[in-house]
Amino acid sequence: MKKRSVILIFTVTIICCAVMALVDGVIRPGYAMKSAIKIAMFMLVPLIASRIDRSVLYLPLLRPKKKGLFSAIALGMGIYVVILGGYFLVSPFFDFSQIAGALTSNAGVTKENFLYVSLYISFANSFLEEFFFRGFVFTNLKQLSGRKLAYIFSAAAFSLYHVAMMIGWFSPVLFVLVMVGLAAGGVIFNWLNEKLDTIYCSWLTHMFANFAINTIGFMLLK
């Protein structure tokens, strides 16, 4: 294990997630500003880290590969059905109405801008998250410290990163279930990256998961 490099990955992950928690939970700027900050945190900061420590990968993560694209799309479609089906299954037992209010008051999402926000979340936001949590964190930790730590830390960081933006959305029980689901999603995305050696397949699958979430959001806001 290259201890110094691993500590650098941990530090970068914690700092970037903390900054985004501050942005999502306290500052709450518009989506343009939030996107600019996220690009800086999730792409520029890892680039700086790769220049500080040459053991840390950056550019190789962006190389496109065709391998596994159709499997990723099929898996993504399956995840879309599971998320949407899960929503319809549990909706009689949980009150989701507060999510619509939180989306408007906390995230600034309205009926008027929902289409633009959902497109950003589905395509751009999912790519930034995949590049950072899978491409940068998971891939580097896997080569520097081994699979176990890479799987646990990257999936946990991915789940906890969503806490600030989702505060007030759910009841405590549902909130815990969502966090567990996000961690499980992180493990699946890690597995795709490990098996196919590219972030683009996990990006496609993540995209379909966001399609499902946006579909639910549309139903709640209409």
Half-sphere exposure of 145 (CA within 13 A, CB side): 21
Identify the pLDDT of residue 108.
66
E strand or H helix at 104, and its extent?
Answer: helix 97-105
Identify the pLDDT of residue 63.
76
d(CA 104, CA 114): 10
Number of structural domains in the chain? 1
220, two tokens: 């709640």
- Closest to 203 measured CA to CA, from 121, 130, 140: 130
Task: Please report the beta strands in 72-145, taking only residues with DSSP state E, as ranges in sequence order.
Answer: none
What is the SS3 assignment for 43?
A: helix
Identify the pLDDT of residue 56.
93
What range does the domain containing 179 cover? 3-221
What is the pTM for the complete model shown? Answer: 0.92
d(CA 72, CA 204): 6
| pLDDT mean for each 10 residues of the chain (222 residues) | 91 97 89 91 96 88 77 92 92 77 68 84 94 95 94 97 86 90 95 89 93 89 74
d(CA 101, CA 92): 19
E strand or H helix at 114, and its extent?
Answer: helix 114-119
